[in-house]
Copies of this chain bind each other. A is one copy, B any other.
Amino acid sequence: MSLILIRNHMTKQQKIEKDKNAQEKILDAARKVFTQKGYAATRTRDIAEESGLNLALLNYYFKSKENLFKIIMREKMKGLFGVLVPVLNDTSLSLEEKLQLIAYNYIEMLSKNPDLPIFVLSEIRNNPEGFAKNIQASKSLKEAHFVQQLHERRPEIHPVQFLFSLMGMVIFPFIAKPVFVSSGLLPENQFAMLMEQRKVMVPVWIKIMLETKTINI
């Protein structure tokens, strides 16, 4: 009787969660714990506990901690760069449209996955060689449509200089948020609003920088 009562009070989401098989539960838990604490600081026991399952099942389904981590890492890298690369390569978009799309998509995505950048970037620091192998696909970045467009517009600007500015203005706030919140300068509940403003303002600012020729760089 009480069991039935509980069942009736479960939300749809909870029912879906309950129906997930062990493999998916472990992946969910691994995603959460790895991105929150990084590879070295997470213990397989943390993941097991978070998943509500047993430690032995991790090895049964995924063989090893490192293997499970690689799966999550690949996923996360796709998430972080998948927003950028296709837009940079899209020949049907103007430079201004690329700016707008990248700023908008990144801020949308990062609002849902705020510790994605610090996770990926700090794991790359810990293991740059392993990363170098996984990036071969985007070696085509050198010939990206965006590089040509920028060269036509401002041949003296290094494409990386441009991407540093664009991505810095979009990604950095998510990395630095905890610092500003702790310092008392930024009330937690204002952050989302600032990011909404940035969706609009970053492309405007970058466009202006692009048109500013006061100093040759």
Contacts and interface: CB of A to CB of B under 8 A. Distances in A.
Interface of A: 36-41, 115, 118, 121-122, 124-126, 128, 131-132, 135, 138-139, 141-142, 158-161, 163-165, 167-173, 175-176, 178-180, 182-186, 190, 194, 197-198, 200-201, 204-205, 208-209, 212, 214-215, 217
Quick one: copies of this chain in the complex?
2
Contact of A168 (B39, B171, B208, B209): B171
29 contacts: A36-B125, A37-B126, A38-B40, A38-B122, A41-B126, A118-B122, A121-B175, A121-B179, A131-B178, A135-B179, A141-B184, A141-B185, A142-B184, A159-B185, A160-B186, A161-B197, A161-B198, A164-B169, A164-B172, A168-B168, A168-B171, A168-B173, A171-B172, A172-B172, A200-B215, A204-B212, A204-B215, A205-B212, A208-B212
Contacts of A168: 168-173, 176
Contact of A40 (B40, B179, B182, B208): B40
Given A183-B141, A184-B139, A118 B121 contact: yes
Nearest to A121: B175
A19 B131 CA distance: 39
Given A164-B172, A169-B164, A215-B200, A182 B132 contact: yes
A193 B212 CA distance: 20
Contacts of A37: 40, 126
A135 to B, nearest CB: 5
A126 B38 contact: yes
A165 to B, nearest CB: 6
Given A128-B182, A138-B183, 14 more contacts: A36-B125, A38-B41, A39-B41, A118-B118, A118-B121, A121-B175, A121-B179, A142-B184, A160-B194, A164-B169, A164-B173, A164-B194, A164-B198, A197-B217
